[in-house]
Amino acid sequence: MAKRRQLEAGDTAPNFTLSTQTGDSWELYPSLEDGPVVLFFYPKDDTPVCAAEVCAFRDRHEVFTGRGARVVGVSSDSVSSHQSFANRHDLPYTLLSDLGGEVRALFGVKKSLGFMDGRVTFIVDKGAVVRHVHQAQFGVKGHVESALEVLDGL
């Protein structure tokens, strides 16, 4: 698969379908009918920084839903890994399994430090337009705070 540039605010998000931590199928475009999607790509289940990020989104989940947004996490881990990770951290939102990294590539999320999957959050509005991109490999709470600020303006 050819490498793409990372999507930016104003770009149209590509539609995709992946499996959730429960094994169900989840598709972006139909999900947008209910409101914006906060789509965050993270490197790996069961690592300290990723656990901090998913828990930061969990702790503010009601604020996101109160603003009409759906939170969805994506990594290349398996469905069973996601299921265990979600259960361990009591996650109230969907995790998607992007085993081959195809969706990560569609969004242009690059490796960080040359070897680790990048950590990038996109806000996609009801029209499938990317409204915001936040990229930071560490400072994971910034992903949550910047997403909430942008949702206030939508």
Q: 30-71 pLDDT, tens per residue?
A: 999 999 999 999 999 988 888 888 999 999 999 999 999 999
More confident residue, 116 or 22: 22
Q: Global pTM?
A: 0.91
Please choose, from the candidates 16, 17, 20, the residue with its C-alpha nearest in 3D space to the C-alpha of residue 83: 20
The tens digit of pLDDT for each residue in 68-99 reads: 999 999 999 999 999 999 999 999 999 999 99
Please choose, from the candidates 28, 42, 25, 61, the residue with its C-alpha nearest in 3D space to the C-alpha of residue 112: 42
* Residues in Cβ contact with 135 at an 8 Å cutoff, skipping those fewer than 6 apart: 6, 118, 119, 120, 121
Please choose, from the candidates 71, 77, 73, 117, the residue with its C-alpha nearest in 3D space to the C-alpha of residue 95: 73
Do residues 79 and 108 make contact, with C-beta atoms less than 8 angstroms apart? no
Homologous superfamily (CATH) of 17-153 is Glutaredoxin (3.40.30.10)
Task: Show the 3-state SS of 53-109.
Answer: HHHHHHHCHHHHHHCCCEEEEEECCCHHHHHHHHHHCCCCCEEEECCCCHHHHHCCC
Report residue 31 as tokens.
Answer: 């999900």
pLDDT, position 1 = 44
Q: Which sequence positions are flagged as catalytic?
A: 50
Cα angle value 67/84/136 (rounded, 5°)? 50
